[in-house]
Amino acid sequence: METKIFQADILDAARLIQQGKLVAFPTETVYGLGANALNEEAVKQVYQVKGRPSDNPLIVHVSSFEMVEQYAEDIPILMKPLVEAFWPGPLTLIVKGKKGVFPDCVTGGLATVAFRMPDNQKTLQLISQAGVPLVGPSANTSGKPSPTTAAHVYHDLKGKIAGILDDGATQIGVESTVLDLTSEDNIPMILRPGAVTRNDLEKVVGTVAIDQHLIKENEAPKAPGMKYKHYAPDTPVLIVEGSKEQWKEAISWATNNKKKVGIYVSQEIVDFLGTNDFIAVSFGKNTVENATRFLFAGLRELDGKNVDIIFAQAFPEELLGAAYMNRLKKAANQNFFKS
């Protein structure tokens, strides 16, 4: 199969969606693998192409709140202020779906549906012109680092999907916050942290809980990205936290064990180490925003450098750092470097 790259010809990409084919699309977070969410056969292709477990529900991408109203019922009163505050944007909202609308392969057999309106004009046009909501899991091989450029998608899925709508590199770099609005106590619960933080949400709706539960391989998650190990490159990853001296210890340990080392760090740490005993991918200025935006791209780049181990920089698990560390800890299978 030829995989076409679309730039401005969005109508052509929308026609492929209408024909039941798969088209990857850009968002502000990562690239999604698009298919008509109402077409069971098209959605099943998404699972096959990604190699994704079919018990893992998919996020339904819409171009308006009115589209949600077509497919959801008993919409909680909290949803409207959240939509007004954060849509379009990196927030996915789980609500009760209308029976018989979405196939089980979209919902994972659950009565709930996860909806998101992405903050990308090309993709909003794609959804509108296709006339249907789109599923949109990350457009990559399941479990591997998510794609943040069209080139990443092409690397993973060339010849497996009909097209890729290219809009350059994503701005945030990790998937959306997932907020469950269906709890019995009516307290919204974060199932997956993202760029919309708990603090942001509580300013709009009051108390918000966080699900700290790690889904095991034999459990069915309520939202994507909840598996214990996820976002992982082929190369083992260890997280390095603490002082700059801890980085020296990590590099020394690896080189003493004859391991070729890759590091994902700020330029400040690269400059401090001042050695050629590693291959570095720097995210530049030492901020969690930079670290988050380039995390998946950095892991992908180091994975292609034939290194034996990747060390990645930790950040405090607060605000955006919660989303960054959520992805990094899953990429590392929860493993930290211990001196």
For position 58, which CATH number holds? 3.90.870.10
Are 175 and 273 members of one domain?
Answer: no
- Per-residue pLDDT tens digits for 270-324: 999 987 789 999 999 999 999 999 999 999 999 999 999 999 999 999 999 999 9
Q: Is 87 exposed, middle or buried (0-12, 13-18, 19+ CB in 10 A)?
A: buried
293 within domain boundaries: yes
- Per-residue pLDDT tens digits for 210-230: 987 655 555 666 666 555 457
218 within domain boundaries: no
DSSP state of 267: H
Amino acid letter at 263?
Answer: I
Distance of alpha carbon 290 from alpha carbon 169, whole angstroms: 13
Are 25 and 145 members of one domain?
Answer: yes
Are 165 and 274 members of one domain?
Answer: no
Distance of alpha carbon 246 from alpha carbon 252, whole angstroms: 10
- Per-residue pLDDT tens digits for 108-142: 999 999 999 999 999 999 999 999 999 999 999 88
User: Binding site residues, as ranges?
Assistant: 29, 52, 56, 61, 112, 116, 138, 146, 176, 192, 231
The helix-helix angle for 79-86 and 198-205 (nearest 10°) equals 130
Percent of the chain with pLDDT over 90: 85
User: Binding site residues for ATP, as ranges?
Assistant: 52, 56, 112, 138, 146, 192, 231
63 within domain boundaries: yes
Are 174 and 32 members of one domain?
Answer: yes
User: Binding site residues for L-threonine, as ranges?
Assistant: 29, 61, 116, 176
Are 295 and 153 members of one domain?
Answer: no
Are 72 and 121 members of one domain?
Answer: yes
Average pLDDT of every residue of the chain: 93
Pick from 130, 165, 172, 167: nearest CA to 324: 172
In total, how many domains does the chain have?
A: 2
The dihedral region occupied by 213, where left means phi > 0, alpha psi between -120 and 50, and beta the remainder, is beta
pLDDT range class, residue 17, cuts 50, 70, 90: very high
pLDDT range class, residue 197, cuts 50, 70, 90: very high
User: For the residues 151-157, what does the mean pLDDT come to?
Assistant: 96
DSSP H/E element including 281: strand 279-282
222 within domain boundaries: no
- Among 191, 210, 229, identify where a domain stops: 210
Report H helices in the chain: 10-18, 40-50, 65-71, 79-86, 104-107, 121-130, 150-157, 198-205, 244-256, 267-273, 288-293, 295-303, 320-331
The helix-helix angle for 320-331 and 295-303 (nearest 10°) equals 20
Are 298 and 160 members of one domain?
Answer: no
215 within domain boundaries: no
Range of the domain at 256: 237-331
Are 53 and 155 members of one domain?
Answer: yes
227 within domain boundaries: no
336 within domain boundaries: no
48 within domain boundaries: yes
Amino acid letter at 120?
Answer: N
Are 244 and 188 members of one domain?
Answer: no
What pLDDT shows up at residue 227? 55
